[in-house]
Chains A and B, each alone.
Chain A
């Protein structure tokens, strides 16, 4: 089996007496989409926040290509090759789509402490920003102000910005949130295409999309792993059917 790009070992986080995430161990491999599903409040966002460095774990460890990155700050995690997109659209509305990606790509310059050369005159940054826009399907929208993009396009831009930082691991937090059917289909195709060259951890509520795109599925309930395996295995798991998929409403 290939070396895991991102691996957690008994990762935990408590808030006061509440164990939001309890002893979660999972592995994301390059070239795979690993989807994490579970009911609201299961601890999926807490998990992704720990992986991106936004939240310090209370226990366990996180490894990136064998390197311990537990408790590193978000900027350090990002610099090591983990890119994150947010559930809430987090683009810079005052910038154009291209400028958003340019700013993101600028983070890979040896230093952005450069006070004089105009920001648009870094050929390697512009090239990376252009590639990211193209990969996310926004090549034609580069000059549009981010505020003028549709909701679906803003979600694509969110991912394009992450791509502009040249990540090896992608953490996608509900990329389909609030999307219509057509936009969802486009995003699913995008995620599938991004699998090449990236390890993807996907948190998503849309079950159709998850089963369409996931290679590996982990079900989390009350902060703990209930089941993990291929989509077929998980679907066939009676406990999962009981606790989640078959239960009261699969969307929520």
Chain B
């Protein structure tokens, strides 16, 4: 087990160093694309906390991504330091309110009701001129990242945004890894494997599921905030079911419940999309074939979880 952990840390260190050095050789286009991948990796990891760790298959996770993104778009030239927590708080509050309702359902009903809430939000935003309607909402200006007069980051620089996304993706991974191994994380795994048994052992499982739902929502909000920051615009597609489904595919492709897997899934899916789309305009066919191939030959994902994985 120690060997496994050491190997994981070594791999992570290599990956982070490689990503940190990438701007030395990568052109602006690739840096921007890599930034988008890391943002989706955060989003996929946040969904993995629900789907892979707790066994709650949500098909409406984009709602929280979109909520925080729109929260940023509605602000007028804010500071990074308060607008980021504020946007995440908006996403977390939405997750708290919706989670308190949807977590009363389970199985297929849970999937449907999470989808229903996300679609309600999608149509509301799309049809509301206040949020820019179907055209989306442009940011007036990117947030200001100065600290006591010193400009820590220039968020108009693609390079600074790249490093910000890298740092936050790493932070989210480390945070979630820590949470997984905590008392709270063990309860989530127990709920995934056998919720009735957890209740008979004395755990009020609803509260744990709600806490997981809020944490996942807040982290999805972090990804949504970064996406709005990156693109300079937020549009309704960002909280549609397409986006939720995309994240779900990344989680399944990478390996449910492994954290690193879904991040890898985000990278694999988006990198292949880029490659295939330069080959042919029918790139979605190839991407679909790849997904089917993984599901057939690696049914547990690119990074399979240790059998039944306790705190893997």
Spell out A's residues near B (CB within 8 Å): 52-54, 73-75, 78-79, 84, 86, 90, 92-96, 99, 102-104, 106-109, 112-119, 122, 145, 147, 161-162, 165
Does residue B28 face the partner (Cβ distance < 8 Å to A)?
Answer: no
7 nearest A-B residue pairs (beta carbon): A94-B308, A78-B202, A107-B202, A74-B199, A114-B183, A95-B310, A119-B186
| Whole-angstrom distance between the Cβ of B15 and the nearest chain A Cβ | 23
Given contacts A94-B307, A99-B310, A147-B308, contact A118 B182 (CB under 8 A): yes
Given contacts A94-B310, A112-B184, A116-B182, contact A165 B196 (CB under 8 A): no
Chain B 190-201, CB-CB to A under 8 Å as 1, else 0, gives: 100110110111
Q: Is the Cβ of A93 less than 8 Å from the Cβ of B203?
A: no
Q: Which residues of B contact A99 (CB under 8 A)?
A: 186, 310
* Residue with the greatest number of chain B CB neighbours at <10 A, chosen from A86, A119, A162: A119
CA distance A118 to B182 in the complex (A): 4
Chain A interface, DSSP helix/strand/loop, else mixed: loop
Q: Which residues of B contact A162 (CB under 8 A)?
A: 201
29 A-B contacts (beta carbon < 8 Å): A54-B196, A54-B200, A74-B196, A75-B202, A78-B202, A90-B197, A92-B189, A92-B193, A93-B307, A94-B310, A95-B308, A96-B310, A103-B190, A104-B201, A106-B186, A107-B202, A109-B183, A112-B184, A112-B203, A113-B207, A114-B182, A114-B183, A115-B179, A116-B178, A116-B179, A117-B182, A119-B182, A119-B311, A122-B183
Cβ < 8 Å to A, chain B residues 7-43: none
CA distance A79 to B201 in the complex (A): 8
CA distance A33 to B288 in the complex (A): 61
| Whole-angstrom distance between the Cβ of A230 and the nearest chain B Cβ | 30
Q: Which residues of B contact A92 (CB under 8 A)?
A: 189-190, 193-194, 197, 308, 310
**Total interface residues in chain B, CB < 8 Å:** 31
| Closest A residue by C-beta to B305 | A94
CA distance A52 to B201 in the complex (A): 10
Q: Which residues of B contact A94 (CB under 8 A)?
A: 189, 193, 306-310
